[in-house]
Amino acid sequence: MKKLLLLPLFLFLLQVNVFGQSDWKLSTQKDGVKVYTLNLPDSKFKAIKVECEIDATPSQLVALLMDVNTSADWVYHTKSCTLIKQVSPSELYYYSEVNLPWPAANRDFVAHLIVSQNPETKVVVIDGPAVNGMVPVKNGIVRITNSTGKWTITPDGIDKVKVEYTLHVEPGGSIPAWMANMFATQGPLEIFKKLKVQIQKPVYKNAELPFIDSKSYALNTKP
């Protein structure tokens, strides 16, 4: 029982260790979006980090990211995305299937999104690790069980945020090198290009979330 209780702590410490490293290498940049990669021990697949600025408030961006049923509209190669369980306005579980080119099989996963905000800095963090269970494994689709993702949203003046997104996925099965590289470099550019368009929709443009404090955003405005 102790080992089971310690597992979430171990995974948390592993994520902090991975994403806290400083050996990120700039892979590509376009339209204000920078994509970095990081080689990890004991993994064939690189972690990625994306940095950019977005014209939005934290509430607007969080509203978009938590609206998982629309993820297929803007998330790279997402075939479907469905809300499984809404724990609270700031916590949910969702299921997603990723459409991969032949000869690879599609992947799917269940993710747990948790939103938190630092009461002093107003920085918002969304953790999105993959979790086991909740949806039965499907024939012909490889289930991803090892994935850690994190959004860090920092207010940078009025209606503007700095975004850092980090992700490491063990896709399982067999993935050609060219396909892995495509998702590590081209994928983030496509995601953030579409995200910037998606967030301008009225449903997000006027979003105000009760669990996101927006009172001090103006304090971060540059002179």
- Both tokens assigned to 19: 């994403």
pLDDT tens-digit map of 95-154 = 999 999 888 899 999 999 999 999 999 999 999 999 998 999 999 999 999 999 999 999
Sign of CA dihedral 62, 68, 69, 72: positive
Q: State how far the Cα of 53 lies from the Cα of 189, in Å rounded to an integer.
A: 13
| Mean pLDDT for all residues in the chain | 86
Maximum average pLDDT range among 51-65, 159-173, 177-191: 51-65
pLDDT tens-digit map of 27-61 = 999 999 999 999 888 888 889 999 999 999 999 99
Predicted confidence band at 177 (pLDDT cuts at 50, 70, 90)? Answer: low
Q: Evaluate whether 54 touches 160 at the Cβ level (below 8 Å).
A: yes
CA 10 to chain centre: 20
Report the pLDDT value the prediction gives residue 105, as an integer from 0 to 100: 92
End-to-end alpha-carbon separation of the chain, Å?
54
DSSP for residue 114: E
Report the pLDDT value the prediction gives residue 223, as an integer from 0 to 100: 40
Q: Evaluate whether 37 touches 29 at the Cβ level (below 8 Å).
A: no
